[in-house]
Amino acid sequence: MSIPYRWIIVAAGALMTCVALGAMFSLAIFQEPIAIETGWSHAGIASAMTLNFIVMGIGGFIWGTASDRFGPRIVVLIGAGGLGLALVLASRAESLLQFQLTYGILVGLAASTFFAPMIAATTGWFEENRSLAVSLVSAGMGVAPMTISPFARWLISAYDWRTAMLLIGVTAWVLLIPAALLVRRPPAEAGDDVAARAASVDQPSLSRVFLSPQFIVLSLTFFACCAAHSGPIFHMVSYATICGIAPMAAVSIYSVEGLAGLFGRLLYGGLADRIGVKPVLVAGLLVQAIALATYLFVSQLGEFYALAIVFGSAYGGVMPLYAVLAREYFGPRIIGTVFGAATMLSSLGMAFGPLIGGWIFDTFDNYSWLFIGSAVVGLGAAAIALAFPPLARVKAEPALGISA
């Protein structure tokens, strides 16, 4: 297999994360049209996103483990078929409960097949420029607000929210299934089983991994980071609209965040390859927290754009670094399992934001407390990150068996 094929893996991963997570996060664009047509509450609709993150977290661990055992291709193929089906079914929901179950559970389960398995697979394809490669795969998340979100807004304007969601589901099938067929195991993992078993002797038991200081700090930082930015990201379009920004312009703020996140991933990934992951991560988390507090003071479109650049580059830039730390701490053989477990906890953090933000708006008729609380949690994430142990891989003890 030729070395350049690793960049095909990166391109396929970026496309899959863009379409899958873009489709999931497009609920932020659908929220207002759904509420207007159906009369469902903002909190009720946002709770579908909360379910998304909970299910996505559990699914990320399951699918990450499955990708370690069976390879990433079969996992992402299942996700490609399931995501389109879930969106089609959600577009036909006749009650809030039906919508919450189809969009919240089925979309979350399908979307979880892409991120952890593809990030884990990418780390195996690269020894040099690993942070940059992982950042490029994760950059699909940054491209999503510039592509899927405006596409969703255009479809809603041209048709209605149900037709728009159905068409996005069909588009997911068209794009994701061919991309999934391009995915292959890293060359080092494609060898014979004897070599793989020999290499696994150096791996610790999973119980020891999950109780290690490295994993605990990694997971808590990831959790707090996502808990801080999930609510503001999801409710940004609604917040801008409340401030008097026109709906399509409000969506463009979301797109600017995504574009900034794309460049943030490249910038932070490149810096992490040069000066180390920990200082770049801590700096990015501090910038994110400051940006969240600053949203209390913006109201004009230009101000939203400027802050979106800072905020988007910060939260987008730090996200891929958790996978790099997981690889450096725990090695390649269980990276899908370990990163899947960390992603599960981060998804629980993501789950709080949309629901709490919807409750805050329904209760206070504004989002001020959302940004205050998010900024405080963001500072907590930076503080936890300072406790990262030195980058020494967790070692197995002779008395401990290898458990899968």
Q: Are 22 and 147 in contact (CB under 8 A)?
A: yes
What's the confidence (pLDDT) of residue 393?
Answer: 55
DSSP-assigned states of every residue in 263-324? HHHHHHHHHHHHH-HHHHHHHHHHHHHHHHHHGGG--SHHHHHHHHHHHHHHHHHHTTHHHH
Q: What is the pLDDT of residue 165?
A: 93
Q: What is the band of 396 on the pLDDT scale with cuts at 50, 70, 90? A: very low
Q: To the nearest whole percent, how much of the chain has pLDDT over 90?
A: 29
Q: What is the pLDDT of residues 76-97, one digit of tens each?
A: 999 999 999 999 999 999 999 9
Distance CA(63)–CA(3), nearest Å, equals 26
10 vs 14: CA distance, rounded Å: 6
Mean pLDDT within 323-332: 81
pLDDT at 208 over 50: yes
The lowest-confidence range among 49-58, 237-246, 283-292 is 49-58
Name the residue with higher pLDDT: 333 or 22.
22
Dist CA 177 CA 183 (whole Å): 11
Name the band, by pLDDT with cuts 50, 70 and 90, for residue 24: confident
- Tell me what pLDDT residue 398 has: 37
Condensed to tens digits (0 to 9), the pLDDT of residues 53-73 reads: 788 878 888 888 888 888 889
User: 40-49, 178-187, 328-337: lowest mean pLDDT where?
Assistant: 328-337
The angle formed by the CA atoms of residues 18, 188 and 318, to the nearest 5 degrees, is: 35
Q: Given a cut of 70, is residue 354 above it in pLDDT?
A: yes
The mean per-residue pLDDT over the stretch 192-201 comes to 42
Global pTM reads 0.68
CB atoms within 10 A of CB 347: 27
Inform me whether the pLDDT recorded for 394 exceeds 80: no
Helices 321-330 + 115-125 axis angle, to 10 = 60
pLDDT of residue 167: 94
- Domain boundaries defined on the chain: 5-185+207-385
User: Quick one: tokens of 381?
Assistant: 């994430």
pLDDT at 5 over 60: yes
Determine the average pLDDT of the residues in 314-336: 83
**Could you tell me the pLDDT band of residue 261, with boundaries at 50, 70 and 90?**
confident
Answer whether residue 126 shows pLDDT above 90.
no
Asked if pLDDT for residue 143 goes beyond 50, the answer is: yes
Q: Look at residue 402 in the predicted model and tell me its pLDDT.
A: 32
- Rounded to whole angstroms, the Cα distance separating 82 from 329 reads 33
Mean pLDDT estimate for the chain: 83
**What amino acid is encoded at 321 in this protein?**
L
Give the span between the Cα atoms of 108 and 52, in whole angstroms: 4
pLDDT of residue 253: 86
Give the pLDDT of residue 138. 77
Q: For the domain with range 5-185+207-385, which CATH number is right: 3.40.50.150, 1.20.1250.20, 1.10.287.130, 3.30.565.10? A: 1.20.1250.20
Q: What is the pLDDT of residue 198?
A: 40
What is the C-alpha to C-alpha distance for residues 334 and 404, in angstroms, rounded to an integer?
A: 9
Higher pLDDT, 376 or 4: 376
Residue 43 reports pLDDT greater than 50? yes
All residues at 6 or more sequence positions from 195 whose CB lies less than 8 Å from its CB, including other chains: none
Question: What pLDDT, on a 0 to 100 scale, did the predictor assign at position 142?
Answer: 66
Residue 149, H or E segment? helix 130-158
Burial (CB count within 10 angstroms: exposed 0-12, middle 13-18, buried 19+), residue 200: middle
E strand spans, 82-163: none
The torsion of the CA quartet 137, 142, 143, 144, rounded to 10 degrees, works out to: 110
288-319 tens-digit pLDDT = 999 999 999 988 999 999 999 999 999 888 88
